[in-house]
Amino acid sequence: MSSATRLRPFRTTAFKLAAGYLVVFGLFALGLIGYLVFETSSVIVRDVDQRLTTDARRLGQHYQRAGINGLFAAMQESAQRPGNRIYALLTPDGVEVINSVGLLPDGVWDEAGLARFAYKQIGPDGHERDSRAIVRVFELPDGFRVLIGLDIGQSDVIRQAIGRAAMVSMVLLALLAVLGWFYVNKRVLKRLDGISQSTARIMDGHLSERIAVMGTGDEFDRLADQLNVMLDRLERLMNGLKEVSDNIAHDLRTPLTRMRNQMEDALRQPPDNATDRAALENALGEAERLMATFQALLTIARVEAGGRRHTLSQTDLGQVLTDVMELYEPVAEDQGVSLTFKPASEVVMATVNRELVGLAAANLVDNALKYGAGEGGTIELSLSKATNVAVLMVTDNGPGIPNGDRGRVKDRFVRLDKSRTADGSGLGLALVEAVAAFHDGALDLGDAEPGLRATLTLPLGSPEASS
């Protein structure tokens, strides 16, 4: 790995993601805890208030029945019971005649109603301890003031417990964030890094290198799959280019040399109009064949380059095959070959480039006429419709192609006829293959026992794709 592509931990996406999540979740946790604390204490206050109200009602009944003395007696009795209740009674002169807790803070008597305060509680053992209480103060008509309350020292315990839980969860959260960072770093960034390493090697010229697919089916696998498909295509194009230049060098040199020799030979002879003309005509014919070969090569190259989806239109494939059959029927008849077309049971419409499909079908028939069916032979064109695809078949009953050669004949300039006496550039099947690839279809060469069955499969495509 070069230093330029080495990972810097704090600049990586994984770190930024983990840090971002930590902040967001931290804030969220803080908010949640704050809300919990607030809700808990307000629940406690409501609960306390309700209990105080009940108690006050009880004491009120005593007061109504037996006046201040009855109240005093009831409070005195309640104050002596163990528990966290607080009772206090203040005379109009300001004397606390009952006080169940000890020292009450200043001003607590001044206002009637609900109040919360901190105070010093004297425990049974005589020690003071800090505590909190919620109290309610009532003023009686004869100037006495009654204080009833509840020690809520416990609720602070709850608050502290929540606080501790919050601390623990924050620590856990931070830990999880770090773990997440490590995980993302290890799993995600390592894979991204793997992809960049692979592409770097591919750019260095290792064209057959591919990006590893882990088989997890995640987005990285999908990305890797897509990239690999792209690389396959790229490699095919590169190989195609190399192949074309190799083939041009090998296959076009022969006719060029032949042409040159004929001309040289003509020039060496004494001038004679008839011989000269014959030589010129030969040379012209040779040049025309060369041009046709070039034309075919260029067409293949253009079709292979693809990318002209806007040339597609809704096409009746049955019509295309009928046209091709009509075009070749007289030639076939002259050769004593029966050429027939078996149409599909329904109209087969496909979004294709009509010109190219026609060219491909013509090439297949041409091929069958040249190399397949001889005198008395048969060539059958057929069209059928399968799931989302149209299947065009050209079947002859000729010698066929040996299994081992079937892949090879689709390459450019390959002619199984070693003597190369049959005319033709050896580009026909390469062109059909290119047309198939252009439409995301396939060309398959099979055995018709005897003979060759060329099957061109074309996706029907969506009618909307046409323009």
Provide, rounded to whole angstroms, the least separation between the CB of residue 341 and other proteins: 14
Question: Dihedrals φ, ψ of 260, to 5°?
Answer: -60, -45
Select 72 or 328, whichever has its Cβ closest to other proteins: 328
When the beta carbons of 7 and 301 are compared against other proteins, the nearer one is 301
Task: Work out whether strand 349-352 and strand 313-316 pair parallel, antiparallel, or are unpaired.
Answer: antiparallel
Closest residue by Cα to residue 351 from 439, 433, 435, 434: 439
- CB-wise, 311 or 378, nearer to other proteins? 311
Describe the strand order of the beta sheet including 145-151 as a list of residue ranges. 96-99, 85-90, 145-151, 128-139, 113-122
Closest approach, Cβ 412 to other proteins, in A, equals 15
Residues near other proteins (CB under 8 A) are: 284, 288, 291-292, 294-296, 298-299, 302, 308, 310-311, 323, 326-328, 330-331, 334, 353, 355-356, 358-359, 362, 366, 369-370, 424-425
Angle between helices 317-334 and 354-367 (to 10 degrees): 30
Q: How many CB atoms lie within 10 A of CB 280?
A: 13
Taking the least distance from each CB to other proteins, the nearer of 201 and 308 is 308
CB 366 to other proteins: min, Å: 6
| Closer by beta carbon to other proteins, 288 or else 405 | 288
Q: In angstroms, what is the minimal distance from the CB of 180 to other proteins?
A: 52
What does the block give as tokens for 322? 């009928």
Q: Based on CB atoms, which residue is closest to other proteins, 93 or 334?
A: 334
Per DSSP, the residues of 121-168 read EE-TTS-EEEEEEEEEEEE-TTS-EEEEEEE-HHHHHHHHHHHHHHHH
Residues 6+ positions from 222 with CB-CB distance below 8 Å: none
Supply the minimum distance, in Å, between the C-beta of residue 350 and other proteins. Answer: 17
- Which is it for strands 378-386 and 389-396: parallel, antiparallel or unpaired? antiparallel
Measured between alpha carbons, how far is 268 from 76 in angstroms, rounded to an integer? Answer: 147
- Burial of 408-417, coded b for 16+ CB within 10 Å and e otherwise, reads ebbebbbbee
For residue 407, the minimal CB distance to other proteins (Å) is 24
Provide the minimum distance between the beta carbon of 303 and other proteins in the complex, in angstroms, as a whole number: 8
**Intra-chain end-to-end CA distance of the chain, in Å:** 48
In terms of CB distance, is 76 or 299 closer to other proteins? 299
**From the CB of 260, what's the least distance to other proteins, in Å?**
19
> Which pair of tokens denotes residue 187?
């799993």
Query: Which residue's CB is nearer to other proteins, number 225 or number 326?
Result: 326
Residue 32: both structure tokens together: 């949640």
